């Protein structure tokens, strides 16, 4: 039932996304129980020019 | 005033999005009242390779 | 598969939430097709003092 | 840098949340690399009466 | 039209929230133009036990 | 620590985004205190055909 969303920079391969969906699902089940079959993982890729930390865009760092 | 967000796969036509904004707005008003004039609907299209269910990406299913 | 989230003020009854889940699900299916069985609706209730419009909190309007 | 958000039902203990933050952080690093020191995990607890699936609230199932 | 959401720890006073809605609205208008009348600011307060950084809950730090 | 997200139409320049990250960070600190070094600003650009107000897409207005 749970929904997990990830915001990260672009550039991960399909294999990394595949691993990520698996790792987050299994990690949730280890920590909280349940079966994981209906757990959603939604990945959002955020460009460095759309992500600021400390008032500065990551594309400027 | 309410804000409704939809995450769905890409591929819907402009007409479907138009219907979706109308349906969700009218449906909210029927259920909860109010006028709907200021209701926002924000659609996010999520690629199948960015959406996992049960630890598996939808692009692999 | 789609996920719909609603942000709205508190104060709706359980019956209104029940209607809302049904209305948004059916409305999505009418606009975009699919079966709706796996469609999620997640409601977040936001206090008026946590919602500003035009720089002013709704609790002050 | 990544941000992971989890929406789940209430009722997990502090220890389960502690494990969850650790599991999701480590799982992200295993799948995607990086150090994880700055990875955020934000948990949102959603009541069953605020979560519908297939047009029906989870509190009614 | 824009929507700004803020996730922060609980504990801010109503006056601080009032200032926050004003500051974020005015700051957006200075940076990006527009009138700000329809700009939404939605604040979510996240408990320290629901926020992890580097795999550790903020309530444990 | 706080996370600020902005949803807005596409079309802002890199300079405007730079100003936006700075303005929102400084505005948060003025209103709520803290140092701002770890404050995240995440910008999401939403196409007009994906944003409805009052049941009508912004691309149709």
- What pLDDT is recorded for position E1? 75
Alpha carbon distances (Å) from D11 to A4, A31, A32? 17, 13, 10
Is A2 one of the catalytic residues? yes
Please give the ipTM for the structure prediction: 0.97
Residue F2, pLDDT above cutoff 80: yes
Q: What is the mean pLDDT of each run of 10 residues along chain E (61 residues)?
A: 95 98 98 95 98 98 91
User: Are the Cβ atoms of A40 and C42 closer than 8 angstroms?
Assistant: no
Q: Is A24 within 8 Å of A4 (Cβ atoms)? A: yes
Q: To which H or E segment does residue E3 belong?
A: strand E3-8
Q: Assess whether chains E and F touch, using the rule of 3 or more C-beta pairs within 8 angstroms.
A: yes
Catalytic site residues of B?
Answer: 2
> Which other chains touch chain E, taking contact as 3+ CB pairs less than 8 Å apart?
B, C, D, F
Q: Using one digit for the tens of pLDDT, what is the confidence trace for C19-60? A: 999 999 999 999 999 889 999 999 999 999 999 999 999 999
DSSP alpha helix (H) spans, A1-61: 14-32
Instruction: Give DSSP secondary structure letters for D10-44.
Output: S---HHHHHHHHHHHHHHHHHHH-S--TT-EEEEE
Q: Using one digit for the tens of pLDDT, what is the confidence trace for B9-60? A: 999 999 999 999 999 999 999 999 988 999 999 999 999 999 999 999 999 9
Q: Using one digit for the tens of pLDDT, what is the confidence trace for D29-55? A: 999 998 899 999 999 999 999 999 999
Q: Assess whether chains B and A touch, using the rule of 3 or more C-beta pairs within 8 angstroms.
A: yes
Alpha carbon distances (Å) from F27 to C11, D46, E56? 31, 30, 28
Nearest to C25 among D44, D54, D60 (CB): D54
List of chain B residues whose C-beta atoms are within 8 Å of the C-beta of residue C32:
8, 12, 16, 19-20
- What pLDDT is recorded for position D39? 98
List of chain E residues whose C-beta atoms are within 8 Å of the C-beta of residue D3:
none
List of chain E residues whose C-beta atoms are within 8 Å of the C-beta of residue C48:
none
> Chain-wide mean pLDDT for chain F?
97
F42: which DSSP letter? Answer: E
- What pLDDT is recorded for position E57? 98
> Which other chains touch chain A, taking contact as 3+ CB pairs less than 8 Å apart?
B, C, D, F
Q: Return the CATH number of the domain spanning residue range F3-60.
A: 3.30.429.10
Spatial strand order of the sheet with D51-53 comes to D56-57, D51-53, C40-45, C3-8, B3-8, B40-45, F51-53, F56-57
- Chain A, 2 to 61: residues with Cβ < 8 Å from chain C are 3, 40, 42
Domain regions of chain E by residue span? 3-60
CA geometry: angle C1, F3, E5, nearest 5 deg: 65
Most C CBs within 10 A among B31, B38, B39, B47, hence the mutation to make, goes to B31
């Amino acid at each position: 039932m749970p929904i997990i969303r990830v915001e990260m920079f672009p550039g991960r391969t399909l294999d990394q996304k595949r691993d990520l969906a698996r790792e987050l699902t299994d990690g949730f089940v280890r920590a909280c129980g349940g079966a994981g079959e209906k757990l959603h993982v939604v990945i959002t890729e955020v460009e460095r020019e759309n992500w600021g930390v400390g008032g500065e865009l990551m594309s400027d760092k």
